[in-house]
Amino acid sequence: MKPIHHSKTPRYLLQLTIALLVLAVLAACAGDNKGNNGVTPSANPPTAPGEADKKDDTPAEGGRIEGGNAVVIVPQDPDYLDPHLAVAAGTTEIMFNVFEGLLKPNEKGELYPAIAESYEITPDGLVYSFKLRSGVKFHNGNPVKAEDVKYSYDKLAGTDTGKPLNNAFASVAGIEAPDESTVVIKLKENNSSFLTALTAAVIPKNYADSNTKPIGTGPFKFKEYLPGQRLVVEKNENYYVSGIPALDKVEFRIIPDQEAAFLTLKTGEADIYPRIGTEKLEELGDSFQAVSGPQNLVQVLVYNIAKKPFDDIRVRQAINHAINKDELIQGVAIGRGIKIGSNLSPIMQQYFQEGLEDLHAYDVEKAKTLLAEAGHADDISIKLSVPSNYAFHVSTAEVIAQQLSKVGIKVTIEPVEWAVWLERIYKGRDYEATIIGFDGKLNPYDILNKYLSDSPNNLFNYNSPEFDKALKATVTEVDAAKRTELFKQAQTTLAKEAAAVYIMDPYLNVALKPKLGGYKQYPLYVQDLSIVYWTK
């Protein structure tokens, strides 16, 4: 499927290049590299967003303007400002502009040097040595030193506590800072995708106020946050990429209600509306620019497998058969979505296992038969808890309730505030069923590891030795083909065991004012305002 564009928006790049990155890393870990300087062995390594944008994306009738402000609509408050505590995708969407790691993704999904300038990997794949870029400063004006990187990544790896804050750092054995510009990370075992972990935020050593006054190295610095109203960032005048950003200030305006958000855009109070509903986008016509395309996000109906009757695989399979995904895509997404059958989007082409979307094809009679076999012919009542700030998920829940009623399952929809959803459902696992979108990552392991039986964010309470074995094997497997096959095995297990109902990767719709240029979609849940500019 091709993404839809109107007006003068940049062409959305559907083809991911994550495969090239992973192959480069695997080559390094396999022992045939003699020091990989740069992020890929290519003679033309991936570039930072914005390096070519200033000349390539400027509309013909008007030049790029330096300065100006922009208002971006978002539907929720951040869960934490501290990047090492945040788990909500909506937080990353905003704070991508504030924080950076040693490496950073561009709009193609490639990693490029950020705080780091170059790196080397030992032939056994166990030691990563980074040279820091000269002249990088934190937003408080202090230079970034190796001890800051060590402090930040020690926290994430839990080297002092033994409990990693970020599972991607679980394989870290130790971190050293032999001088101010060198960081050495030693792993317990070969980790074929460890580089993707190094996009994690670097903060100043011993800084304790990240959750109230966050300090990073990104193109924008934090200015203010008023819960329920707005989060404002302003231009980082000391950013190490020349000419980036163009905007002076960006306000992320928090508007949970879709109608209120739409009115804010139409009246000119906002400039960018990401995740606008398809019907609303079409209603705008040609008065706004529009971008629409797959976003590497998986919309899922999650049931709590620790609770009856979801502990019975026949009930889970029946619910899958009772849900008409095609009807949801046409009715809720207005045709702008891709059907899925496991927790990976087709946009992850190399790793995506085809055919699973029809493993539990829509079949009302089969669903009824499975429920009867499980002893639940007509006695199942489900409370479906849905984050009220996501109108798309609420609409999906309403249609699913109607579909499940056809097989005798009664559904009560419980709208919950976002903060409640995060605390009670995501962290507390106190729910029966919910609908949510899981954002994509650069590394498929980071997408699928929430299903591991020992994962702290396994809100499904899913436990499968077969899945655990396949996914954990991907970490140390250096053969690219075998690693890909293991990811496909893990996806297949999720589908066969009906770990959840995998619905679609809904297209990301974005509306922008006509005189905004440079906007690009990412295969990640982020809004990169560093490359956006006003035109004359």
| Mean pLDDT of the region 344-370 | 94
**459 pLDDT above the threshold of 50:** yes
CATH code 3.30.300.30 for 4-214+508-535: no
**45 pLDDT above the threshold of 60:** no
Average pLDDT, the chain: 88
CA dist., res. 257 & res. 263, Å (int) = 10
- What is the signed CA dihedral for 455, 461, 463, 467, rounded to 10 degrees? -60
Matching residue, tokens 């302003």: 234
Q: What is the pLDDT of residue 47?
A: 57
Q: What is the pLDDT of residue 480?
A: 85
Q: At what angle do helices 391-405 and 313-322 cross, to 10 degrees?
A: 100
Query: Where does the chain hold its CATH 3.90.76.10 domain(s)?
Result: 4-214+508-535
**399 pLDDT above the threshold of 60:** yes
**440 pLDDT above the threshold of 90:** no
Q: Which residues pair with 231 in a beta bridge?
A: 225, 252
Asked whether the whole model's pTM tops 0.85, one would answer no
- What is the signed CA dihedral for 297, 302, 305, 308, rounded to 10 degrees? -170
| φ, ψ of residue 270 in degrees (nearest 5) | -125, 155
| Mean pLDDT of the region 429-443 | 93
CATH code 3.10.105.10 for 297-506: yes
Query: Where does the chain hold its CATH 3.10.105.10 domain(s)?
Result: 297-506
Per residue in 68-79, pLDDT (tens digit) is: 999 999 999 999
